[in-house]
Structures are given as structure tokens and as C-alpha cells.
Amino acid sequence: MPSSVHDVLIIGSGAAGLSLALRIADHARVAVLSKTALTETNTLYAQGGISAVLDADDTIESHIQDTLNAGAGLCDPDIVRLVVSQGKECIDWLLERGVPFTAADAENGGHHLHLTREGGHTHRRVVHAADATGRAVEISLAQHVRNHPNIDLFEYHNAIDLITEKKVGRDGNRVLGAYVLDTHDNKVKTLRARVVVLATGGASKVYLYTSNPDIATGDGIAMAWRAGACIANMEFIQFHPTCLYHPHARSFLISEAVRGEGGKLVLPDGSPFMHRFDSREELAPRDIVARAIDHEMKRLGVDCVYLDISHKPSDFIKSHFPTIYARCLELNIDITSQAIPVVPAAHYTCGGVQTDRHARTDVPGLYAVGETACTGLHGANRMASNSLLECLAFAKLAAEDIIRALPEIPPPPDLPEWDESQVTDSDEEVVVAHNWDEIRRFMWDYVGIVRTNKRLQRALRRVELLKQEIAEYYGNFRVTSDLLELRNLVIVAELIIRSALVRKESRGLHFTLDYPRTNDDEPPRNTVICP
């Protein structure tokens, strides 16, 4: 396979990757990779919106304070200020690119946009495109990227590993490119670049139940780790309390609004339980509701609980929740007369590749933006709608830094091609499928919403075994996308478990029965694990 050279190689085509590509492409030759179709990203499924201070009554200080409150003492205040201050510019930038945000009835603070309010925000500051904001952003940006003469798109290209100076036997550890599996013909290409950016999204597929699409296997985190970058705060996984539980419907969220409009959470026998956990009952914060459901499922050994809104008039349900009504009906659940089976689901990875205020990682020439990065914005718990803002703001900051740095960076040298001489086609694909299931199941059971030292240790022992098995398999057989993702999932699992074991307190999204209280005796600390 011939190798290709670009100034900037961006791995990932969500909000972070596409906005970065567009901000750089007038200055440099850019390659954008996506593992499957260009728009099949977490971004595409984002519903609520993007937070930004636009309302005349709102202030930057208030957005900062709300973010710090949600982050439970672990946000980096300088980064929070940096990101929040970019909100208006980022929204204007998207508007210039034609993103069809929902308009308000009247102008407010120089804007015509309708703003909603979400959990944790003390003001109306969530810009949205009806209830499909991510789709509007992704589709608009994808159109611009496809039409830009300086951007080469590599769809259905799965990045296997970063190539660094160290890996090819040179001095230093600068990133020089990546090995990439072209899944059209299963051949491995060598892509060389002066700068590489990870924009690979989150890692929630490491859990059995997740609101994320299949691409969210934490590849960027695992690749950065193997290349020598430090990874931070992986214990903070956000779980959404109510994902539809049905064998034929993966990843379908039942919006918080159903509880907001009077939906009751009940056990399989129909009895309510939230009153036993919080006086706000169904309207308690996300993490409390998720923990209560998890507790009841584990206590009773049941597969799901139920969310019942059927006591409301049928017309009200159909007009307020048309999408949920239609999706459930497709699965033979009529929510006007039946309760909806739900489980909590892994939703957002707060930790990731540790980056600085320019999105640089510890590996020279390697940047990380979006959900794959740990920038310091979210701390121990992400506030709703801050993640798309983070993607856009750090794409801008990274672009500025990369454009400044590029003239000083020499073109990458020739690199060794991928060597397949020692491997054969697998005759035991069942091993890969089995290990996928096993990881996701024990991560759910032992490293989920409520943790204990004993469960974490148990999970770590299984990870050690699986790591050996997967390494052996990887060494002997030709790579496939399933194997590559599995190899990354096991690293992500290990990083989550090891980070959770380090934190001897409960804080934000990390809750352990062994240390149920937040340790306020010492200053809060990030969990940073370096290779």
C-alpha cells in the first residue's frame, strides 16, 4: 500500500473533528478519517443542544459557576472560563455555516435563537435545533467538509495505531502518522502527517448498556495510551438513567422530559421506589436516579425497571413525546397504556487523553479534542450541553495552535509499511465475539454505577486475563475492525478500573460503597495514569 502525506491527520469526524478540519483547511492539507460512514458519530445523536451565553440576562460568570458546581470540585477553573468564553463565537461560526438552529419569537441579546434550560443550568442558555441538534450540526459540517478542496476524506478507515518516533526506532517520541485499516478491502495503509489529532469520541461501548452508537469504543484513548500519553479521570463515566430496554432497540434514550411530565419509575410488580431514595423522587438529579435503578435491579436480580406515563391522557403523550411514542410502538409497546422497560446506560466519558489549553497531549505533535480528551472542563461530572461546546471550543483552540506550529514542523520521514507476513486469517472469530460480550458484561456488573473495591478487583483480574488472550490473538491473526475495537476496549476497561481503584472517596459520578463520602479533608485531585 502506498503511504500518503498530509499536514494534519484528524482521526474522527464528529463535531470536534469536522469543525477542526474546517478551521484548518484554508491553511494546510488535511485528512479526516471516520471509522464507518462520515456522519455516524455520537454527535449525530445529540438531542438537547449546545450551551452558550446568549441571553441578555445571562452572564459568563453564571455559566462558569454552574459548570464548577456540576464538576464537584474537579473542574479546572481556567479551562472552564476559556471554554465558556468561546460559546458565542462557536455558535456564530455554526450559524455562518448554515446550521438550522431553532429561532426565538423575538430578538434577545442580539440573537434570534430560542434557548432552552437543562439540568444544572441556572439560565436559559441551550441553543438547539428542535430535539435533534447534533444531527443539524453534523450534517451541515459534513457538507462543508465534503466540498473543501484541501480536505481528503477517508470514510470506513479504522485507525489501528499511532506511529511515533519511538515505535520506529528513532530518538524522541514525536507522532509521525498512523496505521489505518481500510475496511473496504481490509488492507492496512500508512498515513503520514506532521500533526495528528485524535477526535475519536467517547468509550461508552465498554458497558453492556449504552446510549452511544457502535463507534464509541474509546479507540483514541487506547491509541494515545499505547503511544505514551497520560490519561486522566477515567473513573467518571456518566450514566443516563433511562435507556429503552429491548432486544431489538439498542441505544434509544427515553428523555428526562418523560419523568418531568409525571412519568413514574416502577418495579416489575408495579410498585414505585424512588421515594425510598430521594425526596425529589423521579425528579432527583440523573446520577441519583441512575443509582436508585441500579440498586433495585441488583437487589431483585431483574433485567430492567419500568417507566410509566400511561396515567396521562393519550393525546398529551402523543403530542409531547411523538418520537418516543412512535419508536416504542414499532416495538409493540404502546406507552399510552403500557409502562416502558428501561435501564440506565453509559452515556458520556468525562475522562480521556489529558490535554492542555491548546489541546496538546504529552506526545509531541499529537492533539486530542472532543469527548476523547480530558481538558479539565467537566471535572467529576459533565453538565448537560457542555460537551458539544467543548468539542467546538477546543477545535478552535487546537486549530489556532496547529496553524501557528506547522511552519516549524518538518514533514514526516518514510515509515515502515504494515507487516502482515507473520499472521493468518482467524479461524476462531468466536473468541473475539465472546470477549466483547464478556468485557461489556463485567464492566456493567462490577464497574458500573455503584462500585466496591471487591468488585473492581474482580474486574481487574478478568481484564488481565483478557489482555493476554487478545494480545496473543492480535499477534497471530490478520486484523479486523472487531478485533481492533476489542483490543481498545480492554485498555479502556483497565484504565477505568485502575482509576476507580485509585479514588478512595465518592465524588461526582464515581460512587463506591467502600468510601461513600466525599473527602473534603484534602484538596480534590485528578486521577492521572501514565504509561
Ligand X SMILES: Cc1cc2nc3c(=O)[nH]c(=O)nc-3n(C[C@H](O)[C@H](O)[C@H](O)COP(=O)(O)OP(=O)(O)OC[C@H]3O[C@@H](n4cnc5c(N)ncnc54)[C@H](O)[C@@H]3O)c2cc1C
Catalytically active residues, by annotation? 286
480 binds ligand X (CB under 6 A): no
Q: Is 177 in the site for ligand X (CB under 6 A)?
A: no
Among 136, 139, 162, 215, the residue binding ligand X under the rule CB under 6 A is: 215
CB 434 to ligand X: min, Å:
22
447 binds ligand X (CB under 6 A): no
What is the size of the binding site for ligand X (CB under 6 A)?
41
- The nearest distance, CB 39 to ligand X, in angstroms, is 8
Q: Using the rule CB under 6 A, which residue among 71, 134, 341, 412 binds ligand X?
A: 134
- CB-nearer residue toward ligand X: 50 or 229: 50
Question: Binding of ligand X at residue 212 (CB under 6 A)?
Answer: yes
Q: How many angstroms separate the CA atoms of 45 and 139, rounded? A: 11
Site for ligand X in 257-316 (CB under 6 A): none
Q: Check if the beta carbon of residue 74 is closer than 8 Å to that of residue 416.
A: no
| Contact in structure between 472 and 490 (CB atoms under 8 Å) | no
Around Cβ 65, how many Cβ atoms within 10 Å? 14
Q: Are the beta carbons of 290 and 239 closer than 8 angstroms?
A: yes
Candidates 22, 23, 25, 45: give the one binding ligand X (CB under 6 A).
45
> Per DSSP, which regions of 216-316 are E strands?
231-232, 237-244, 264-266, 305-308
Query: Residue 52 and residue 61: Cα distance in Å, rounded?
Result: 12
For ligand X, the closer CB: 127 or 443: 127
- Closer CB to ligand X, 253 or 459, in the complex: 253
**Cβ 255 to ligand X shortest distance, Å:** 10
Kindly tell me which residue out of 72, 115, 391, 491 binds ligand X, with binding defined by CB under 6 A. 391
Task: Rule CB under 6 A: say whether 48 interacts with ligand X.
Answer: yes
Tell which positions 359-378 bind ligand X, by CB under 6 A.
370-372
13 part of the interface to ligand X, by CB under 6 A: yes
Looking up cell 490519561 gives 231
Residue 199 found at the interface with ligand X (CB under 6 A): yes
Using CB under 6 A as the binding rule, whether residue 209 contacts ligand X is answered as no
34 binds ligand X (CB under 6 A): yes
Which helix (H) or strand (E) is 10 found in, with range? strand 4-11
Q: How far is the CB of 25 from ligand X (least distance, A)?
A: 17
Q: Which of 16, 113, 197, 495 binds ligand X (CB under 6 A)?
A: 16
241 binds ligand X (CB under 6 A): no
In 3D space, the residue among 353, 361, 371, 362 whose CA is nearest the CA of residue 398 turns out to be 361
Closest CB 384 distance from ligand X, rounded Å:
6
- SS3 call for 108: strand
Query: Is residue 456 a contact residue for ligand X (CB under 6 A)?
Result: no
Quote the least distance from Cβ 157 to ligand X, whole Å.
6
Closest among 406, 366, 31, 7 to 193, alpha carbons compared: 7
DSSP string, 180-220: EEETTTTEEEEEEEEEEEE-----GGGSSSBSS-TT-S-HH
Contact 347, 204 (CB under 8 A): yes
Cα dihedral value 426, 429, 433, 436, nearest 10: -10
Tell me which of 6, 41, 227, 353 binds ligand X, using CB under 6 A. Answer: 41
200 scored as a contact of ligand X (CB under 6 A): yes
For 270, left (φ over 0), alpha (ψ -120 to 50), or beta? left
Helix, strand, coil % in the chain, rounded to nearest 5: 40, 20, 40
Cα separation, 393 vs 82, whole angstroms: 8
Question: Per CB under 6 A, does 17 bind ligand X?
Answer: yes
Query: Looking at beta carbons only, is 389 or 456 nearer to ligand X?
Result: 389
CA 459 to CA 206: how far, in whole Å?
13
Residues of this chain that interact with ligand X (CB under 6 A) are 11-17, 33-36, 41-43, 45-50, 133-134, 157-159, 199-201, 211-212, 215, 219, 253, 348, 370-372, 385, 387-388, 391
